[in-house]
Chains A and B, each alone.
Chain A
Amino acid sequence: MRKYWTIIKTAWQQNLTWRFTILAYRFGEITEAMILILLWSAIYQGSSLIKGYTLQEMITYVLVGNLFEAMVRNYLTHKIARDIKDGTLSIFLVKPIKYLKYMFAKEFGITILPFLMSCASQILVISFFLNKIVLNFDFAYLFLIFIMLALAYIIELFISYLVGMIAFWTVEVDGVFATIIKLRKLFSGGYFPISLLPSGIVSLSMAMPFVYSFYFPMQLYLKKIDLVGGAKGIGLQVTWIIVLYFISNMIWKKGIKKYEGVGI
C-alpha cells in the first residue's frame, strides 16, 4: 500500500512542474462553458421548456455538470497506449508491481492539481451566474452525488485503461481514440442531457456506465431523480466496477501475450 501512496505523491510533484500549463487549460474550459450558455440562451428564445428542462435548469446543467466532469476525468488512455507502443511497458513487467495499480495511482496523483484548479475556476464562473442557476444545498442529495462522482472516477479509470489496451492489438489508435472520446462524451450527457435524444438511445445510454459521470449526477442535483433512484444508480455503479475489473484483467492477460516489447 505504501508503494502506491509514494506513487501518488511523486506524480503530484511531477505535475506541480507543469502549473502554468494547467492554469492555461482552465481558460479554455471557461470559454467553452460560456459558448454553451450563449447557445442555450439563444435556443430558449423560442420556448420556455425543452423536454422538461427550463433555461435555468439547462444553464445549471452546463455549469454544474462541467464541474462534475472536471472531477471525474482522466488522461489515462493515451498514456497506456504510449507505454505499449513505445515498449516502456517492459519496465513494469520486470518490477514487482502491478501495472494497473501503478497507473491508477499515478493518474490519481497527476489529476489532483488540475482537479483542484478546475474546481476553483468552475466555481468562480458559477459565482457569476448564481441568480441564473438552480441551487441545491440539500445535504442528502449532495452526499449521494459525492459518492456517485467518486465511483464514476473509478469507472472512468477502468474505461480509459480498457480503451488504452487496444494498443496491444494495433499501433494505429489515434483515430479510434478520438472517436471514442466523443462517444464517451455523448453517452455521458456531456454535450447535452441524454433525455433530449430518442427514447431508444436514452435506454441504451442508461445501460452503459458513462452516464454516471455527468447526466445521472446532474439529474440528482436537479432533483429530477429522487434519493432512491440515486441509491439504485450507485448500486449499478458498484456492479459496473466489478464487471470492468474482471474484463480488464482478462484483456490484460490476452494483450500481454501479444506484447513484444518493441521500440527498445
Chain B
Amino acid sequence: MSLIQVKNLNKTYEYYKKQPGLLASFKGLFRRDKLFTEAVKNISFSIEEGELVGFLGPNGAGKTTTLKMLSGILYPTSGEAVVLGHKPWEREKAYQLQFALIMGQKNQLWWDLPPMESFILNKEIYEVGDKEFKRNLDELVELLEVKDIMDVQVRKLSLGQRMKCELITALLHKPKVLFLDEPTIGLDVVAQKNIRDFIKKYNQETKTTIILTSHYMEDIKELCKRVIIINHGEIIYDGALSDLIQKYAPYKELKLTFDEGKISKDDLKKYGTVDQFNKFGANVQVDRTRVKEVASKLLSSKLPIDDIIIDEIDIDKVIRRIFKEKFQK
C-alpha cells in the first residue's frame, strides 16, 4: 500500500458570475448566475515513502487545490485519497500529527514576535517533548543557518529568512509527509537556491516524503526525480524528470537583448531555432548540451547583442509539446 494514494479525485468550485457595469451590479442584487469551475478532474497517482515528487503546472492548473485536498483543507467533490492510511478531509488528529503543510504565500508565524515564540507554540500544538524539541530545533537552525535571527521580530525578517523559519516550524515535529506549495515564490535567486538545497538534503537524510508544487521548472529540475504535470485540472505527465527533459525539454532558451545595430533573423538561425524575433530582442532555442558554447559564440560574434539570459524552457511550452505529441499520436 503506497504512502499516498489518490484515485479519481475531483474538485469543482462554484462561484457567482459577476458582470461588469453598474446596471449588472443592481441586477446582481436579485439574481445571479451560478457557475462551476472544475479545478481538478479525475486525477489518480500514488507516491511511495521517501519520494520527492514535483507537481508542475501553469497557474490555475489545480496543483494547490490537489494539495489542499491531500492536507484536508478541502473536501473533494468525488473520488478517494488515502495518505498514511487516513482520509485527509476527516482531519483526524492522528493524521495531522504526522504531516506538515507550508504554503509559500501564507505566513503562519506570529508577526510581532520573534520566530522562537512560534516554534514553541508549534511544539505544544504537535505535542513534541522538550528534549526532542531542542534537538530538532538545533539541527534545523544549524542546517538553515538562522541562529542569529532567532530573537528578531518576524515582521523585520526578509522573505528568505521568513521562509526558512516557516520550514523550521513545519519540521519540528518530524512529519512523515511534507506538502510544500510554491515554497520559493517571491524569493531572490540566492534564497531560492538555499531553500532548494535544504529540501533536497532533508529528503535524502530523513527520507521524509515530500510533495512540492511550483510553476518554476527550475525548482522541479533541481529537486525532483519524478514529476507530475497538471494542466487544466488533469495529469498530462507522470514519470521521471530525466525522461521529460529528454523528450520535451531537450533545449534551453537564450533570451537575447539587442543593441543598436543591424541584425536579421537569418543571422541567428545558424545558432539555433529562433522562437521570437523583434527589433528589441529574440529567443533562440539551443540544445542543452551546447547552450554554453553557443552563448559564448554569440557574445564574441560581431552581432549587436547587448545581453544574454540562459533560461529554462517555460513550462507552458513543455506542456504544449506534450499535447502536440499526444495529438499527433
Contacts and interface: CB of A to CB of B under 8 A. Distances in A.
Interface of A: 2-3, 6-7, 10, 13-14, 17-18, 87-88, 90-91, 93-97, 257, 259-261, 264
B101 A94 contact: yes
B32 to A, nearest CB: 12
B272 interface: no
Contact of B112 (A14, A91, A97, A261): A14
Contact of B106 (A13, A18, A88, A260): A88
B124 A6 contact: yes
B126 interface: yes
Given A10-B113, A10-B120, A87-B106, 4 more contacts: A17-B153, A90-B103, A94-B71, A94-B96
A97 B125 contact: yes
16 contacts: A3-B124, A10-B121, A13-B113, A14-B113, A91-B108, A94-B72, A94-B100, A96-B96, A96-B97, A96-B127, A97-B125, A259-B74, A261-B68, A261-B73, A261-B74, A264-B106
Contact of A2 (B99, B124, B153): B124
Nearest to A262: B13
By CB atoms of chain A within 10 A, which of B13, B73, B100 has the most?
B73
Interface in B103-129: 103, 105-106, 108, 110, 112-113, 117, 120-121, 124-127
Contacts of A6: 120-121, 124
By CB atoms of chain A within 10 A, which of B71, B74, B125 has the most?
B125
A10 B106 contact: no
Contacts of A260: 13, 74
Contacts, number: 64
A262 to B, nearest CB: 9
Given A90-B73, A264-B105, A14 B110 contact: yes
By CB atoms of chain B within 10 A, which of A6, A18, A259 has the most?
A6
Contacts of A2: 124
B185 to A, nearest CB: 10
A95 B96 contact: yes
Contacts of B75: 257
By CB atoms of chain B within 10 A, which of A7, A13, A95, A97 has the most?
A95
Contacts of A87: 106
Interface residues of B, number: 30
Contact of B64 (A10, A257, A264): A264
A248 B212 CA distance: 36
B321 interface: no
Contacts of A10: 110, 113, 117, 120-121
A259 B96 CA distance: 19
By CB atoms of chain B within 10 A, which of A17, A87, A91, A94 has the most?
A94
B151 to A, nearest CB: 13
Nearest to A4: B124
Interface in B59-92: 64, 68, 71-75, 91
By CB atoms of chain B within 10 A, which of A90, A96, A261 has the most?
A96
A82 to B, nearest CB: 13
A96 B126 contact: yes
Contacts of A94: 71-73, 96, 99-101
A96 B121 contact: no
Contacts of B121: 3, 6-7, 10
Given A10-B113, A90-B106, A95 B74 contact: no
A258 to B, nearest CB: 10
B131 interface: no
A264 B103 contact: yes
Nearest to B15: A260
A91 B106 contact: yes
A96 B99 CA distance: 10
Contacts of B68: 90, 261
B172 to A, nearest CB: 12
List the 6 closest A-B pairs by CB distance, nearest first: A3-B124, A96-B96, A6-B124, A96-B93, A17-B112, A90-B73
A7 B106 CA distance: 20
Interface in B228-243: none
